[in-house]
Amino acid sequence: MAKYEYQTEIGQLLQLMTHSLYSHREIFLRELISNANDALDKFKYLHLTDEKFKNETWDPKINIKIDKEDNSLAVTDNGIGMNEEDLIHNLGTIAKSGTKAFLEQLTGDAKKDNNLIGQFGVGFYSVFMVAERVDVITKKAGEDQAWKFSSDGTGEYEITPVIKDEHGTVVYLKLKEDAKEFLDHWRVKEIVKKYSDHIPYPIFLHYEEEENVGEGDKVEMKKVKKSEQVNEAKALWTLPKSELKDEDYIEFYSTLWHDSEEPLTWTHNQVEGSLEYTTLFYIPRTAPADIFRADFQPGVKLYVKRVFITDDEKELLPLYLRFVRGIIDSEDLPLNVSREILQENRILANIRQASVKKILAAIKKLDEEKFDRFIDQYNKLIKEGIFTDHLNKESLLEIVRYKSSKVEGMTSLDYYMKRAGEREGETKKEFYYIVGEDEHLLRNSPLLEAYRKADIEVLIMDDKEIDEIVTPAIGEYKGWKFVDIATVDAPEVEDKEKLEQYGETFTPLVEKLKTILGEAVKEVRLTTRLSESPSCVVPDSSDPMAQMRHLFRQMGQ
Ligand code: ADP
Ligand code: MG
């Protein structure tokens, strides 16, 4: 037997699990089942691709055993299993850098915090919400030695060699006094149904029940062993859309991505033809906590013919869609597809392009409340997309929203164009914008003043690091250019009050000039634009000849 100390962060985490997170304790079961599912997925892959395991008769399943007398619950799988090193690495340390971030993000709001547990992959430790001791008895596929990991959720754990026949893992929980509700088979069934109905492997529940046995005088209460399958055990995305209800989609989402909030929307596509594949994508209501970290966990899982391949490939979708959760299941890829092949694969590139279209279409279909939420959470990433995804630029420019000098909240570019079109006078096809860090400072910028006077709308771009790079690179949207008002002359504006004052005095002069000049000019009018000279001749900007003259003058003629 060997004793080990937990990594410090885990110590903190355990402290929290054991003492603070009391509501929603039931999610420990969801986490254990999800780990069993992952372990089965991994072995399924070996079973299909590795000569060593091909001949094994294997009946993948998850068993949950309730033992009321022993006060215990055990979750068993015949998946990949773990060796000693795996145990230390997977359960004694937190390999992913997420833990620190997790601890930092805890809010004290149990609902949100529980949600984070799943997101950061610290799921196993949730057992300490209900268990006073945990034993993990496990044997790795292809190895001879089995191991037992034991911990009471304090600073240390033990690892002992043990004997076990089949590969796979048993997680044995000695329940705390106040966690006896999880010995009730109805309760356990309810939890499995709620969180794990669409786990594609059968989940069996084993328990004992007292029953009247015998007849007449000989009736006696006896303990009877019962076993039943509690979940549907079908990969949801393979079911016909017509059979699926909103609840099914939502439940599947919360099972796989550990999010207790309903997704904003989803899009499910079963494609047949020269390429055959199924995709199911969700948009989380709240942006995953790690999307602005370099080591973010990708949200899309790749399957080939229902066999799980990877959930660690960052470019199944373009990077700017890294908030999307979902599944790609291809009929055409080989099972033993390698990372290098994945990255340059024509089939995947094809699926990826079609997927982006579907996701963007789903975003555009959101109702107002959800769309606002979407923008609130993901506008920055849409801007990233405008910069990087040339194929879908136009579509992304339809989605992106900006603050504006004219309207409250956010505006689309299309509405900007509409408002500009409704304004009196001539309108150049230009989006005016100002970039900076602080919305308040931008709104009070002296640069804006002239535009306000001229009644010209200016987009207020306060995502400085992003806007500064992205906006100038846009080029055009529907024939309209983007103009940074810091780089051009302010519009010339007439001061209406002064014009009226001057009008009384100068109207006779204007009339006189009109008669004198006659056909030589198009119009004579008062202006407040000039501060030094009394008058000037201006070309008519709608007159092509005037434009030519302007051009010649520029060329020095
Ligand atoms: P996550 O599942 O997000 O990786 P967990 O805390 O739930 O985080 O589990 C940590 C790791 O422990 C898993 O990644 C896996 O390697 C290992 N593990 C947990 N349960 C099992 C199991 N039943 N079979 C094999 N490995 C497991
Ligand atoms: Mg897990």
Ligand 2 centre and the CA of 553: distance in Å? 73
Q: Which residues contact 231 (CB under 8 A, 6 or more apart)?
A: 192, 193, 196, 197, 198, 199, 202, 203
- Which ligand gives the minimal distance to the CA of 91? 1
Please tell me the predicted confidence (pLDDT) of residue 525.
77
Distance in angstroms (rounded) separating the CA atoms of residues 92 and 160: 14
Q: Is 297 in the pocket of ligand 1 (CB under 6 A)?
A: no
Distance in angstroms (rounded) separating the CA atoms of residues 28 and 18: 12
Position of tokens 């299941």?
Answer: 329
Residue nearest to atom 11 of ligand 1 (CA): 90
For residue 397, give the amino acid letter. L
Please tell me the predicted confidence (pLDDT) of residue 550.
45
Please tell me the predicted confidence (pLDDT) of residue 542.
46
Lowest mean pLDDT among 125-129, 317-321, 446-450, 519-523: 519-523
Distance in angstroms (rounded) separating the CA atoms of residues 189 and 66: 11
Ligand 2 centre and the CA of 479: distance in Å? 50
Residue nearest to atom 3 of ligand 1 (CA): 121
Give the 3-state secondary structure of residue 231.
coil
Ligand 2 centre and the CA of 125: distance in Å? 9
Give the C-alpha distances (Å, rounded to integers) separating 343 from 338, 351, 423, 457: 9, 12, 50, 44
Q: Is 10 in the pocket of ligand 1 (CB under 6 A)?
A: no
Residues 162/137, Cβ–Cβ less than 8 Å: yes
Give the 3-state secondary structure of residue 476.
strand
Q: Which residues contact 20 (CB under 8 A, 6 or more apart)?
A: none
Q: Is 123 in the pocket of ligand 1 (CB under 6 A)?
A: yes
Q: Which of 34, 35, 40, 139 to mutate to test the pocket of ligand 1 (most atoms within 8 A of CB)?
A: 35
DSSP 55: T
Average pLDDT of the segment spanning 8-14: 77
Ligand 1 centre and the CA of 99: distance in Å? 14
Q: How far is CA 109 from the centre of its chain?
A: 21
Ligand 1 centre and the CA of 200: distance in Å? 18
Ligand 1 centre and the CA of 90: distance in Å? 6
Please tell me the predicted confidence (pLDDT) of residue 544.
46
Residue nearest to atom 18 of ligand 1 (CA): 35
- Picking from 263, 256, 356, the residue whose alpha carbon sits closest to that of residue 311 is 256
Q: Is 35 in the pocket of ligand 1 (CB under 6 A)?
A: yes
Q: Are strands 156-162 and 2-5 parallel, antiparallel or unpaired?
A: antiparallel
Please tell me the predicted confidence (pLDDT) of residue 557.
41
- Picking from 174, 160, 164, 166, the residue whose alpha carbon sits closest to that of residue 87 is 160
Distance in angstroms (rounded) separating the CA atoms of residues 416 and 508: 41
- Picking from 543, 497, 496, the residue whose alpha carbon sits closest to that of residue 521 is 543
Distance in angstroms (rounded) separating the CA atoms of residues 128 and 25: 9
| Residue 36 in this model has a pLDDT that exceeds 50 | yes
- Which ligand gives the minimal distance to the CA of 134? 1
Q: pLDDT tens for residues 146-200?
A: 999 999 988 889 999 999 999 999 999 999 999 999 999 999 999 998 778 878 9
Give the chain's mean pLDDT.
87
| Residue 283 in this model has a pLDDT that exceeds 70 | yes
Position of tokens 């596929």?
Answer: 141
Q: Which residues contact 276 (CB under 8 A, 6 or more apart)?
A: 330, 331, 332
Binding site members for ATP: 31, 35, 77, 82, 90, 96-98, 119-124, 169, 339
Q: Is 124 in the pocket of ligand 1 (CB under 6 A)?
A: yes
Please tell me the predicted confidence (pLDDT) of residue 13.
77
Residue nearest to atom 8 of ligand 1 (CA): 121
Q: Is 121 in the pocket of ligand 1 (CB under 6 A)?
A: yes
Ligand 1 centre and the CA of 40: distance in Å? 11
| Residue 530 in this model has a pLDDT that exceeds 70 | no
- Which ligand gives the minimal distance to the CA of 96? 1
Give the C-alpha distances (Å, rounded to integers) separating 537 from 341, 380, 494, 523: 68, 47, 16, 10
- Torsion on CA atoms 194, 199, 204, 207, rounded to nearest 10: -30
- Which ligand gives the minimal distance to the CA of 87? 1
The sign of the dihedral angle between the CA atoms of 83, 84, 86, 87 is positive
Phi and psi, residue 194, nearest 5°? -65, -45
Residues 207/74, Cβ–Cβ less than 8 Å: no
| Residue 508 in this model has a pLDDT that exceeds 80 | yes
Residue nearest to atom 10 of ligand 1 (CA): 90
DSSP 92: I
Ligand 1 centre and the CA of 55: distance in Å? 26
Give the C-alpha distances (Å, rounded to integers) separating 440 from 281, 372, 403, 464: 37, 21, 11, 13
* Higher per-residue pLDDT: 335 or 438: 438
Phi and psi, residue 209, nearest 5°? -135, 145
- Tally of CB atoms within 10 A around 261: 14
Q: Is 197 in the pocket of ligand 1 (CB under 6 A)?
A: no
Residues 314/298, Cβ–Cβ less than 8 Å: yes
Confidence class of residue 64 from pLDDT cuts 50, 70 and 90? very high
Q: How far is CA 28 from the centre of its chain?
A: 23
Q: pLDDT tens for residues 407-425?
A: 999 999 999 999 998 876 6
Report the share of the chain in percent with pLDDT over 70.
Answer: 88
Q: Is 82 in the pocket of ligand 1 (CB under 6 A)?
A: yes
Residues 143/43, Cβ–Cβ less than 8 Å: no
DSSP string, 297-354: PP-EEEEETTEEEES--TTSS-GGGTT-EEEEEESSS-TT--HHHHHH-HHHHHHHHH
Q: Is 141 in the pocket of ligand 1 (CB under 6 A)?
A: no
DSSP string, 410-470: EE-HHHHHHHHHHSSS---SEEEEEE-S-HHHHHT-HHHHHHHHTT--EEEE--HHHHHHH
